[in-house]
Amino acid sequence: MNILEHLLPGLSGTSYEITSWCNSDYNCIAWAVGDGTEWWWPGRPDKSFWPAAVPRRETLEAFEALFTFLGFIPSADDVPEPGVEKVALFANRHGLPTHAARQLPNSRWTSKIGRAEDIEHDLHAIEGDLYGQVVRLFQRPARA
């Protein structure tokens, strides 16, 4: 078992794919909203990017505000829809946000795994101790 499957055991036996090299330039939140250049997190402003209009707090409410600020609305399900971009927000058992993933047109999901690689995966395959569970789904019109 590789280290990825050790930390995300739900991937074992699924058809996930590693789709990039390791990269510390951007993280899961950035990747979920279409930015492959910056590290998005509500930490110190000299170390991480976070829109100024969104509360800089590590709470579910602040992350909901982030997606709303970026034009997302709550989504009822993870069923792919033409012309619609969906993202999933994960939180741990304490309700603290841990991760976000973005749905691809082929109905699978893409995640940037921390400072490591991007992977293409089934949405719920990365739930577990590390990222917790999917707690919110959002959608917005797909960009051209």
Partner 1 sequence: MSSLLNNAPPAEVDVETEFRRLAEWWNEETKYLSNIGLAVQHPAYRAIVALGPPVIPILLNELATKPDWWFDALEELTGASPLTSEIGGKVRLMAAKWVQWGRDNGYGV
Whichever of 43 and 95 has its CB closer to partner 1, that residue is 43
Question: 96 is written with which tokens?
Answer: 């603290």
3-class state of residue 128 by DSSP: strand
Q: To the nearest whole angstrom, how small is the minimum distance from the Cβ of residue 138 to partner 1?
A: 17
Residue number, 6 or 141, with CB nearest to partner 1: 6
Distance CA 115, CA 143 (A): 26
Binding footprint of partner 1 on the chain (CB under 8 A) = 3-4, 7-8, 22, 24-30, 37-41, 43-50, 58, 98-99, 112-116, 130
Q: What b/e readout covers 87-117, taking b as 16+ CB neighbours within 10 angstroms?
A: bbbbbeeeeebbbbbbbeeeebbbbbbeebb
Nearer to partner 1, 27 or 75 (CB): 27
| Smallest gap from residue 24 Cβ to partner 1 (A) | 5
| Cβ 129 to partner 1 shortest distance, Å | 11
Question: What one-character DSSP code corresponds to residue 118?
Answer: E
Contacts of residue 118, defined as CB under 8 A and 6 or more positions apart, other chains included, come to: 18, 19, 20, 31, 110, 111, 112
Tell me how far, at minimum, the Cβ of 87 lies from partner 1, in Å: 14
Nearer to partner 1, 6 or 79 (CB): 6
